[in-house]
């Protein structure tokens, strides 16, 4: 059995292709089962003309029973091997819909759907398989809870459950047949599951909720670059951009760029507040997505990629490389890659990040390394921050 994959972010919509090989295997398995059953039936129902059963007959029956058991075990083993091969061809272990206590809506969503006009002549696909992140298998209980609701009724107020699944790698999440919660008035008082209901409260949180408007219009340190200066480096060719990192939680960068007629999509999750609601209330576009997810955009589409975190080199180098390559993929040739106050920690970590950046062959339009006081209370230590504007080169 083969497969054709249509990538949608980190999730995958998969289509199965019927092949001559898979049909032959199925026919062979069916023939083996029928032959075994007929052979066993004959062995146990056959009666000799003379009803006297000798020790020799007992021995034959025992031998036949052993052979039948062996054949059944071989068939079972072959079926398991075929299932493993199928899963390998599909690319991941599919969710086991036969497990108990699994929501019926989830089972329904995961059903294969035949193409209405039959086999597609160009691709050879015959049916479509639902797109669900492969890591959802590890959180089947939470996923079943997420898919438990009244069909055509209001969706449960479970944004925190959805985010928990996403952070566990279960994305994309399955679609649901319920109405999302609506509010008549946008405001902090409508946020559920949160202790804070006003901006002052949010600003007291460890990570803060400050509006960093000033640093983009009036630099407070040498690592702060002004928006107008960066746009000038792009020769006024910046139209659309992607903003990555927890520093984007208020959507301030996107709002300021909108004033310059630049459209910014902001990648965010809800940390201490419903950041997506807040960003949307400012008239800019929030993308509810973890930074580990493959960015759901086509190649070479953005004029600007702005990163405020996520490149912290305290994580595994391989994980950092995956993120960098994906950011590079969606940035067009000549586009700008803006690293905004990336925390390096010390010289060794700065060199690690520098070596990775140099691997891409970017042209360094601006490169500044500065020291900032460590955010930990009473630490008294200084850490290195890197800010840079890089331009993507032509690669042959």
Domain extent listing, the chain: 99-113+133-182, 212-392
Q: State mean pLDDT over 287-297.
A: 82
Task: Report the C-alpha gap between 176 and 179 in whole angstroms.
Answer: 9
Residue 128: partners with Cβ closer than 8 Å, 6 or more residues away: 13, 14, 15, 112, 113, 115
Task: Report the C-alpha gap between 258 and 261 in whole angstroms.
Answer: 5
Residues paired with 342 in a beta bridge: 386
Homologous superfamily assigned to 212-392? Vaccinia Virus protein VP39 (3.40.50.150)
| pLDDT over 60 at 13, yes or no | no
- Which pLDDT band holds residue 1 (cuts at 50, 70, 90)? very low
Model pLDDT, residue 322: 83
Q: DSSP character for 66?
A: H
Task: Report the C-alpha gap between 345 and 383 in whole angstroms.
Answer: 5
Residues paired with 232 in a beta bridge: none
Model pLDDT, residue 283: 85
pLDDT in tens, 156-214: 988 889 888 888 888 888 889 888 877 655 554 555 555 555 555 655 554 444 456 66
Which of 5-14, 148-157, 173-182, 311-320 is the most confident on average? 148-157
pTM of the full predicted structure? 0.63
Model pLDDT, residue 43: 55
Higher-pLDDT residue of 218 and 44 is 218
Model pLDDT, residue 374: 60
- Which pLDDT band holds residue 338 (cuts at 50, 70, 90)? very high
| pLDDT over 80 at 21, yes or no | no
Q: Identify which of 246, 391, 262 has the alpha carbon closest to the alpha carbon of residue 328.
A: 391
């Amino acid at each position: 059995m083969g497969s054709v994959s249509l990538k949608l972010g980190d999730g995958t919509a998969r289509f199965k292709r019927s092949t001559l090989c898979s049909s032959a295997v199925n026919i062979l398995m069916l023939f083996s089962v029928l032959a075994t059953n007929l052979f066993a039936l004959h062995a146990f129902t056959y009666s000799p003309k003379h009803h006297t059963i000798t020790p020799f007959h007992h021995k034959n029956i025992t031998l036949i029973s052993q052979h039948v058991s062996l054949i059944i075990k071989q068939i079972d083993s072959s079926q398991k091997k075929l299932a493993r091969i199928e899963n390998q061809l599909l690319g991941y272990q599919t969710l086991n819909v036969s497990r108990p206590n699994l929501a019926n809506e989830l089972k329904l969503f995961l059903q294969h759907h035949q193409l209405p006009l039959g086999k597609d002549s160009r691709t050879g696909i015959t049916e479509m398989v639902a797109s669900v992140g492969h890591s959802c298998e590890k959180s089947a209980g939470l996923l079943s809870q997420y898919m438990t609701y009244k069909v055509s009724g209001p969706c449960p107020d479970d944004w925190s459950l959805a985010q928990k699944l996403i952070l566990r790698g279960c994305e994309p999440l399955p679609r649901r047949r319920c109405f999302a919660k609506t509010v008549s008035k946008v405001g902090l008082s409508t946020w559920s599951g949160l202790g804070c209901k006003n901006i002052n409260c949010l600003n007291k949180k460890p990570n803060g909720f400050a509006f960093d408007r000033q640093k983009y219009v009036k630099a407070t340190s040498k690592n702060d670059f002004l928006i107008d200066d960066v746009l000038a480096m792009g020769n006024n060719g910046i139209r659309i951009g992607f903003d990555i990192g927890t520093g984007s939680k208020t959507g301030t960068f996107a709002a300021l760029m909108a004033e310059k007629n630049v459209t910014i999509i902001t990648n965010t999750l809800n940390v201490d507040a419903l950041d997506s609601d807040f960003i949307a209330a400012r008239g800019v576009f929030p993308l509810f997505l973890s930074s580990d997810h493959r960015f759901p955009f086509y190649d070479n589409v953005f004029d600007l990629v702005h990163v405020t975190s996520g490149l912290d080199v305290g994580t595994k180098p391989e994980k950092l490389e995956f993120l960098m390559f994906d950011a590079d993929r969606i940035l067009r040739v000549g586009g700008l890659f803006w690293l905004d106050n990336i925390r390096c920690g010390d010289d060794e970590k700065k060199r690690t990040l520098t070596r990775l950046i140099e691997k891409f062959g970017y042209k360094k339009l601006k490169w500044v390394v500065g020291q900032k006081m460590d955010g930990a209370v009473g630490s008294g230590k200084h850490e290195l921050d890197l800010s840079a504007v890089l331009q993507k080169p032509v690669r042959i």
